[in-house]
Structures are given as C-alpha cells and as structure tokens.
Structure 1
Amino acid sequence: MFDFLKSSAPAYQNLTPAQFAEGLRRHPVTLLDVRRPDEFAGGHLPGAVNIDVTAPDFAQRAAALDKSKPTYVYCRSGARSASAAGQLTKAGFANVANLLGGVLDWPEKLVR
C-alpha cells in the first residue's frame, strides 16, 4: 500500500572516507570516479575508472560495468557521486557505496 515510501530512501550506502578506504582494502570493487575527465587527470584514487556523470552517455557507459561487483563511487564533494549512486542502483547495481565528502575529504594521496 505504501510502496512509494520504500523508494524514497537511497538503496546505496553513504560511507565516510575511513569506511570507504576499508571497503577498498577488503573487497575487490569497481572504483568509479564520476568527475569530468579534466578533474580526473588532476588526481584520482588509485585504480579508479572515470565515467563523467554529467556526460550524455553516462548510463550507457556505466551499464557496461559488472553489476554484481560492489561499486564504490566518488566525485569532488559527494554530490555528483550521490546522484550517480542513485542512477546505478536504479540500473540494477546490487552493492553501491558513495564517498561522503568526495576527494575533498579523502585523507590519502591521489594519483595522476
């Protein structure tokens, strides 16, 4: 009767930088940077794949990723990655995590 209430909560996890880092160490994941390519080139988390969430082909490119593998998503501050995490969840990705605070709050060194 109240199915609309179920869809209002995000089906992805918001993780602190410490929780996000722990997840990266413990599990094989797809690490997805959803910033623009120029932002990615300026520094990103090691092993990240870059698919710009604002690009018109985001959904098509993301659909090529392994939906059964945990997908960890981040951006600069956490806003675009939250949007991407919601889109991925709706597209059938089973285990999606969003980095709260994005790379601005990431304590470790970024790679180029």
Structure 2
Amino acid sequence: MSIKSINSSQAESLIKNNKDLVILDVRRPNEFKESRIVNSINIPVEEIEWEIDELEKYKDKPILVYCKVGVRSSVACAFLEEEGFTNLYNLRGGILDFNGEIE
C-alpha cells in the first residue's frame, strides 16, 4: 500500500527532514485562508480530480495530505493512489491534531 497514515509528530519530522516534501491541504479555500501548515498548497478534495495535472509534477515526491480531521485527506489519498501516486502520507487527525508550525 502506498498510503501511510501518520500522526502529528511523524508529520513534523517528515516536514523537517524532507526538503522534497509536498504538503497538500485538501480543505476548502476559506479554511485554508484561516490557517494552514507552513508551505502547503491548497487543492480542495472536491476539485482534486480536475486538478490532477497540477499534481502530476509531484508524482515522484512524497506528499503529505491533510484536511481538518483526516476524513477528506483519506479520500484524496485514495484517489491519488488510484492515479499512480506512490509516496502518500495522510495526516491522522488533520490540522486539528497537528502541533507543528501553522501560518
């Protein structure tokens, strides 16, 4: 399986130790504006199908996917896996459980 479910501290060390990491926020734009993990890009889960070309360039990179509590990010990860992405990390508990840096 190419999706790893990780907790906040695992996500923090992934962010710290992996300069190639892509951080994907799949919440709605208004949620993204309020707060987000530093350096994340926003593609709402409802639009990910149509924005897949945007993500193609990251296919070989590790991608940390998160939402508010972890449900939408699971859906997004499953979709990306079907599209051939192989290095996916789902942030369990979403941004609500994340203790790292938020902007």
1:48-106 C-alpha deviation (Å, 9 max, x unpaired): 00000023xx1231332210011110000000001101111111111000000001101
With normalisation by structure 1, the TM-score equals 0.84
Aligned mate of 2:54, from 58, 64, 85: 64
Match of 1:18 among 9, 21, 24: 9
Gaps of 5+ in 2: none
What is the number of equivalent residue pairs in this alignment? 100
In structure 1, the gaps of 5 or more residues are: 1-9
* Greater RCO, 1 or 2 (C-alpha within 8 Å, sep 6+): 2
Larger radius of gyration: 1
2:79 aligns with one of 71, 79, 87: 87
SS at the partner of 1:20? helix
Task: State the SS of the aligned residue for 1:94.
Answer: coil
Distance 1:24 1:101 in 2: 17
Deviation at 1:109, TM superposition (A): 4.2
Q: Alpha carbon RMSD of aligned pairs, Å?
A: 1.2
Report SS of the residue matched to 1:45: coil
TM-superposed CA distance for 1:25, in Å, is 1.1
List 4+ stretches of structure 1 deviating above 4 A.
none
- TM-score under structure 2 normalisation? 0.90
* 1:78–1:98 CA contact under 8 A, matched in 2: yes
